[in-house]
Each structure stands twice: as C-alpha cells, then as structure tokens.
Structure 1
Amino acid sequence: MANSNNIYTPAFNMANVVNAKDSQAVEERFNEAHQGMMGMLMTAYKVRKQISTASENTLPLTIIGGFLGSGKTTLLNKLLTAPHGKRLVVLVNDFGKVNIDAELIASQTDDMINLSNGCACCSVSADLTDSLIKLSERDELPEAIVLEASGVADPHGIVQVAHAIPAIRLDGGLAVVDVETLFTLAQDKLTGRLFHNQISAADLIVLTKVDLVDEHQCAIARQWLKDNYPTKKVVEALDGNVPPEIILGIETTLPDDYESPESTDHKHDFASVSFTFEQPISESKIRTLLAELSESLLRVKCVLNLDSEPSSKTIYQRVGQRDTYRTSEPWKDEKRHSSLVFIGPKGTLNKEQLETALINCLV
C-alpha cells in the first residue's frame, strides 16, 4: 500500500547532488577499504596470539546463508531443539535472538543460552574472528558450530575468516531460498548479485515455504535452480524441518586456488533502522502503520508489546508483501518492550519520520 505519511521516502533527485554524492561515495569506500585492511591485520595478529584448546582443523563450521526473510532462523530453531545428540553451538549475527522455549533452557548468561539437550545459542560479537577464537578456547569444546549469516551478508567473506583460524574446519554451507521471492530477488538489479553469491557460496540449497505456493510454482523454482546451479543439491523444507544429519556433516572441500567472487558491496545497497520502546503499543495503530509502509520495503522484524496482549510477546514479520502476526511466549520476568527493525534500499528509509509515526502508536 502506498505510504500516505511519507514514512518511506522515494529516491532522491540525483541531478542536484551528484558531485557531493560522488565525493561522499569515494570517501566511504576509502574508509571501508582502510577498515578492511586494518581488520585483516588485526585478524592475523589475533590468530597468531591464539592459544587454542582445539587441535588444527577439528571444529566443524556450517554456514547458513540466505536473503532477508528466507527462513534461516526458523531452520535454526528446529536444529537447536532436534535430538541429534551433538554439543552444538549456534552463532547468530542478525537482528533478534533465536526464540527458545523457556522449558528447554538449562542455564543462561548475557551472551549464551545453554539448552537441556546439550546445545547452546549465542550472538556473534562485532568481530566474527573473536567469536570463533573464543569458542576454540573453551574448556568444553563444541562438536559443531553453526553460523547464521545476516540476510545481506555474502558468505564468501565468512569463509575467508574461517580459513584464517587453524582450529576451524569449514564443514559446509547452506543457502536458504524462499520459493515465493526467488525470481524477484534473482532478477532485481539491487539484490541479484548478492542473491546469486549467497547461493554460489553454498553446498546445499534449502528451498523453503513450499507450502505457500502451488506445485506448478515449486516445479518452476526447482527447474530454475537445476538450470542455474546444476552441481548444487536441493532439499525442500516445510516450517524449517530439515533433518540435522543433512545440515551437519556436509564436509565440503574447496580448491587450493579458491578466490571469493566480486564483492557485492551490500553495505552500500541496503540500510536498516531499529527502534526500542518500553511503553505498550496500540495494536490498531501499529497495524495501520505497518500496512501503509512502502511496497518496496524489503524486510520488517518486530517483537511487540501490544496493549491487546499484555502478557505475551507478539511477533510481526514482513517479507516483501507477505506479513504475519503471531502470539509468542509470555514475558514472565522479562521487562516488556517493543523492538522493531526495518530494512530497505539505502537512501530511502526516513528514520526521523518513521520514529515519529511509531511514537504516535504508543499507548
């Protein structure tokens, strides 16, 4: 639906600002290149200083990539609670922690949730290298590590980090692909290169949300994947149900002359804004607001404290033009709040106007 409140602004008139924009872009890319070089030097320093509990190439790492809203977190939820018998650690570097049923939690710290089945879930620090090194230094080593990449991340960069840490062995990569949005993402100028890079970095493609389209659409999607990625295996998943033995133990191999493909520069393509409010939100007002957001918005993810449901969390998800509301677990002792994240093409999200509109939804 069109945005009558101008919360989500259209593209700017570039004719009046092209010189300033060019100059700013050059400066941004210079700073990014400088930060990248310093990051590589720091990584090398940290790896040299590392005192690892694990022997070389003994900690298997599985990378789960896929575009925004493809179903990565749903798949992780199933993996964490599956009876696979492994001491598994899941790293999450996207917005929102994996929601875990409180009855399954054995213990919890600021950055780690230990589950009764021996699994653990934690968030990735700003430095992926630090997170992986810390895991390799633990007294009780995990039997496997699974990393959920951000929806706008190119997994090839994560592969390079993994190869820099002696204890880590790249076990395999998955690309989670939403059958509903496959062709839109593949053909769009903004998302196409990143989408293809995410698939090319994977050993296995997990086709999700197949229950939301008919068999003819599924067949077309399967044929497209076969034509474009003939060496990739494809499995279909309903509600994230993929057997753990398929996700773990892929045992990928990379050629000695492996090089990452051309960078997707996704930092320059996408932007996100996020908000947190402690006051309850009016359900009627927030529903109206979210329905009026621009159709070009890529992703919205919210944990809502609604006035109509004061005892439990409400989860709102939007991928493209499909959105869902669902009641989640009770708040219990957790302080009630609302956390909202909006992701769209860079240069179009108007944070100030969006914040004002959200404040108007507070009770």
Structure 2
Amino acid sequence: MTDLAKLPVTVITGFLGSGKTTLIRNLMQNPGGKRLAVIVNEFGDVGVDGDILKSCAIPECPAENILELANGCICCTVADDFIPTIEALMALDPRPDHILIETSGLALPKPLLKAFDWPDIRSRITVDGVIALADAEAVAAGRFAPNVAAVDAQRAADDSIDHETPLSEVFEDQISCADIILLTKPDLAGPEGVAKAKALIATELPRPLPVIEVAEGVVDPRIILGLEAAAEDDMEARPSHHDDHDDHEHDDFESIVVEIPDQEDPAALVAAIEGLARDHNILRVKGYVAIAGKPMRLLVQAVGARVRHQYDRPWRDGEVRQGRLVVIAEHDDINPEMIHAALGSTLTAAAE
C-alpha cells in the first residue's frame, strides 16, 4: 500500500451475540498477510469485547492496534470519538493495511457509513465492505420478526400505525446495509433451522447478497476482506428504516452494569441468567465474574437464555477481583431493581 492509497475499512455489524468478536479474533489470528487494526464499539461501559481481542493480539495485530469506544455510538460522536480514533490508527508506524470496525450489536450501520464522508478522512479511507452477521438459531426462531398476529389485529383497527418492532428494525437495517451476510452458529440451528433462516433473510434483503454459513468465526479472510465495495459511495443500494431522519435514536434499548461478589458455583450463575432472560426478556448479558478459590477470571457471554462461560485468564496482580455483568434489554424491559433481585435471589446480593 502506498501512502496515497485509501486505507480500507471493513464494518462488521450484527445483532447482540451474533459472533462479531469471535469473527474478528479469528481474522486477527489469520489475517491473510495483512497488518490489521481494530476499533471496537460497545453498548455499555464494561469493555468485554475489546479485552477479549487484546488478549489475542499477535504481531500482525498488536494490542496498540486495538482501540475501544465504549458506551456510545461512534456514528453519533463523529468529531469527538470516531475521527480521532481513525486518525490515531492511520498514524501508527507501521501503518495498518486494513481496519476492522466492530459495531455495537444495537448499531445501525448506515449512519456509520455516512461518517466516512467527514471531510477530515473521506479522501484517505474507504469502506471496503460491510459484513453482517446473523445468528441462524435466533433468526429461525423468529426473534427479530414482529408479532404477526398482533400486527394484523392492529392493522385492522388502524392502518397508520408503524408495526415494526425495534428488534426487527435493527436486524433489517443491518442486513440491508451489507455486502456479505455470515450466517453464524449453524450447528445450534441445525440444517432445518439454517434453511429457515436463509429463507427469512432472503425475504428482507433489498438485493441479492451472498449468505455464507460460518461456525466459530472461521472464514477465509479472502472472502470478506478486499471487496473494494466503496460502500460510502453506494448508499442508495442500502435502504434503512431511518433514511428519512437526519439522526437516529438509541432509546429503544438500555443497559445497566451489575456488580456481583465472588460466586461459589458457576452453574448457579448460569441458572440465574437463564431465568432472567426467560422471565424478563433480557437480550444480552456479558462480563466477568470472580469464582471463590479460583485464580482464573470467568468470562460470561449470554444471548437470551443461551449462556456460555469459560475461564479466560488469571486475575492480574493488583487487579480488583470484582465481578461485573452488562445487562442489555429493550428500554421497557430494563428494571434495575428487578435485575438485581433476579440475580440476588440465586446468588449473593448484587451491589447496587
């Protein structure tokens, strides 16, 4: 790459828990000869995803090439956060060959594309492609679809009502903006679920797009890097529910951070999170927990009632052994007292 060439950027979008961090971790470890840099934008102020990626840093993507923007949408804070972060990565020596941006699972990608028209950077970077991840099991289960029966009943009474749910709008905006869709977790969905998910996605796409099954984030980097889509110049082909608005709102979703003390039994924690998701429509839980008597930190990642956990690294010398979980749900479903009580009913009392 010459100094005059535009630096390619790949935007990786997808709903909460669709596997974005896992995909980027695999790209970092198999970069196809490219020197990568990563921007991670998280919903909530506990930097789980950025910490995971930094723990996987290698010479082709060292820790200093991984920058995190937490608790804010980068397309809403262009001047304050996004532009300085891009410029910091472009100033690295050696300069990255390619930048990956992992958006928040609640982000709308099209407003981010508009940020690439910012005067300070538009002549120096280009959006090589937008990659949308879709959780096959969640799509097949209809998690992103409106309630069809309720919609029909309301439409009969008042055809002026907008019946789209926030979840379905976010999902549709993400896949409509994409150049390639990666259908993740096909093993959990099974062949029938994968087929159903592909059919549902096809009905929502504004144009034909390749849909590729990907398990555990493993994909040949040549498939998704080097698309040369120049997506910033192709906005009309990427419709959004928010095209008629100059800005977009994030008020449909909310997050809180729950601090919990050392736990005796990871299984009890898992059961508490599963119950919270089932009973209170919690979308996502992620964070770290200290287990009594264990020197390793427990990483917890939950999508709805599907909970995964593993010991990811030892607690560092001088590091506070404090468990912190980010809980994300639609705005009407976030009740801090209820969430603390739900965890505290099975675990030792959560910090307020």
Q: TM-score by structure 2 length?
A: 0.76
Distance 1:155 1:54, change over 3 A: farther
Residue pairs, 1:197-216, within 5 angstroms: 197-216=173-192
The unaligned stretches of length 5 or more in structure 2 are 73-80, 147-164
CA distance in 1, matches of 2:196, 2:234: 34
Assess if the C-alpha contact under 8 Å between 1:153 and 1:266 holds in 2.
no
2:311 corresponding residue in structure 1: 327
Aligned to 1:66: 14
Structure 1 CA distance, aligned partners of 2:250 and 2:54?
34
Take 1:287 and 1:199, find their aligned partners in 2: how far apart are those partners?
31
Check the 8 A contact 1:163/1:169 in 2, yes or no: no
Q: Partner of 1:267: helix, strand, or coil? A: coil
The CA RMSD measured in Å over matched residues stands at 2.7
Aligned equivalent of 1:361, options 336, 348, 352: 348
- CA separation of 1:223/1:128 partners in 2, compared to 1, >3 Å: closer, same or farther? same
Q: Structure 1 counterpart of 2:300, which letter?
A: Y
Tell me, in whole angstroms, the C-alpha distance in 1 between the residues paired with 2:329 and 2:115: 27
Q: 1:315 aligns with which of 299, 302, 324?
A: 299
Alpha-carbon contact 2:9-2:100 (below 8 Å) kept: yes
Is the Cα contact below 8 Å between 1:204 and 1:234 reproduced in 2?
yes
Cα pair distance change 1:291/1:250, threshold 3 Å: same
- Check 1:69–1:118 CA distance in 2 against 1; reply closer, same or farther (3 A cut): closer
| CA deviation string 1:318-357 (max 9, x = no partner) | 2122222222222243623212010111033222443466
Deviation at 1:286, TM superposition (A): 3.1
Which residue of 222, 234, 245 corresponds with 2:211? 234
State which of 324, 331, 339 in structure 1 corresponds to 2:324. 339
CA contact (8 A) 1:206 1:237 kept: yes
Residue 117 of structure 1: SS of its match in structure 2? coil
Measured in 1, the distance between the counterparts of 2:234 and 2:27 equals 33
2:153 alignment partner in structure 1: none
Match of 2:254 in 1: 271
Question: What's the counterpart of residue 334 of structure 2?
Answer: 349
Cα–Cα, structure 1 residues 190 and 128, in superposed 2: closer, same or farther, change >3 Å?
A: same
* Offset at residue 76 of structure 1 (A): 0.9
Do structure 1's residue 88 and structure 2's residue 88 form an aligned pair? Answer: no
- Cα deviation digits, residues 249-293 of structure 1 (max 9, x gap): 11114485835633294512111101345x423326534432331
Query: 1:186 and 2:144 equivalent?
Result: yes
- Residue 212 of structure 1 deviates from its aligned partner by 1.0
Q: Which residue of 2 aligns with 1:143?
A: 97
On the 8 A contact 1:285/1:361 being kept in 2, the answer is no
Contact 1:280-1:362 within 8 A present in 2 as well: no
Cα deviation per residue 1:43-79 (whole Å; 9 max; x = unaligned)? xxxxxxxxxx954x61101000000111111111111
Structure 1 residues 256, 123: CA separation in 2 closer, same or farther (over 3 Å shift)? closer
Please report the TM-score for the alignment, with normalisation by the length of structure 1. 0.74
Alignment partner of 2:111 out of 138, 157, 178: 157
Equivalent residue, structure 2, for 1:76? 24
Q: How many residues in Structure 1 have an aligned counterpart in Structure 2? A: 298
Residues 1:245 and 1:232: Cα distance change in structure 2 (over 3 Å): same
Question: Residue 116 of structure 1 aligns to a residue in which SS?
Answer: coil
Unaligned segments of structure 1, at least 5 residues: 1-52, 106-114
Partners in 2 of 1:76 and 1:334 — Cα distance? Answer: 29
Given that residues 126 and 230 in structure 2 are in contact (C-alpha distance below 8 angstroms), is that contact kept between their aligned partners in structure 1? no
Displacement, 1:228? 3.6
1:358/1:232 Cα in 2 relative to 1: closer, same or farther (>3 Å)?
A: same
- In the TM superposition, residue 190 of structure 1 has moved relative to its aligned partner by 2.7
CA distance in 2, matches of 1:54, 1:124: 27
Counterpart of 1:301? 286
The equivalent residue for 2:129 is 172
State the shift of 1:176 in Å: 0.3
The residue aligned with 2:154 is: none
Structure 1 residue 306 displacement after superposition? 1.3
- The percentage of counterpart residues that share the same residue type is 31
> C-alpha deviations, 1:55-112, integer Å up to 9, x for none?
4x6110100000011111111111111152211001111241242585x65xxxxxxx
The verdict on how the C-alpha distance between 1:245 and 1:255 changes in structure 2, with shifts beyond 3 A counting, is closer
Is the Cα contact below 8 Å between 2:127 and 2:231 reproduced in 1?
A: no
